[in-house]
Amino acid sequence: MTSVAIAQKNKIHPHKFTLWVAIGSILMMFAGLTSAYIVKRNQANWTSFEIPVMFWISTAVIVLSSLTIVAANKAFKERAIGKYRSLMMVTMVLGVLFIALQVIGFKQLWDIGLTLQKNVAYSFLYVIVGLHGLHVIGGVIALVVMAAKAFSNKTRVYSAVPLEVMSTYWHFVDVLWIYLLIFLLLIK
């Protein structure tokens, strides 16, 4: 290999670099929100709340979806396209199920009176978990695009980069959800 080829091989792909910059930005946003939550928690009118059971179930679903996208990545690299397509569809369905379970959890909170107007604690909960939900919706949209490409009959370059970028993002929203759940449990 020439020195140019070696240097090119050692560079990070521009899409991966962009993803890591975006992840850094998202992390800073959630760090700011969770920091503000800690500060506001010391207000006299702060009210604690219980995490709905649906949030626990949704956690299991999103962890399972991370496992299926790992398997999809492996199947893609082994060129087992049928298996890859199935696993991408399962991951996409699990992503949609996660969102549905989160909505059910929020409905349960709303039904017991934890509304945005009642207390700043509830507003923080809705904003923090809601923003995470928006990021998951973005991930599900990307999963839909990846699944559509998996079933496309167009001739294309067989590159793992889009799947690797999608997998990294999906694992990120998974880990972020686990962090937020633990944070909300410990910082009441």
* Model pLDDT for residues 57-112, shown as the tens digit of each residue: 999 999 999 999 999 999 999 989 899 999 999 999 999 999 999 999 988 888 88
Task: Determine the number of helices (DSSP H) and then strands (DSSP E) in the chain.
Answer: 6, 0
- What is the widest separation between alpha-carbon atoms in the chain? 67
> Would you say residue 169 has pLDDT above 70?
yes
Residue 158: helix, strand or coil by DSSP?
A: coil
| Torsion, CA 48, CA 52, CA 53, CA 58, rounded to 10 | -120
Residue 49 neighbours by CB under 8 Å, 6+ apart: 109, 114, 121, 122, 125, 188
Q: State the Rg of the chain over Cα.
A: 20
The whole-number average pLDDT for the span 173-181 is: 95
- Mean pLDDT across the chain: 87
Cβ burial, residue 68 (10 Å; 0-12/13-18/19+): buried
- How far does the chain reach from its first CA to its final CA, in angstroms? 57
Give the CATH fold of the 18-39+51-186 domain. Answer: Four Helix Bundle (Hemerythrin (Met), subunit A) (1.20.120)
> Would you say residue 4 has pLDDT above 60?
no
Look at the chain and count its residues.
188
> Would you say residue 178 has pLDDT above 90?
yes
> Would you say residue 117 has pLDDT above 90?
no
Q: What is the residue extent of each domain of the chain? A: 18-39+51-186
pTM of the complete model: 0.87
> Would you say residue 28 has pLDDT above 70?
yes
Q: Judge whether 125 and 49 are in contact, CB under 8 Å.
A: yes
| Torsion, CA 50, CA 51, CA 54, CA 55, rounded to 10 | 180
Residue 142: helix, strand or coil by DSSP?
A: helix
CA–CA distances in Å: residue 25 to residues 19, 87, 161: 10, 29, 21
Between 44 and 94, where is the model more confident? 94
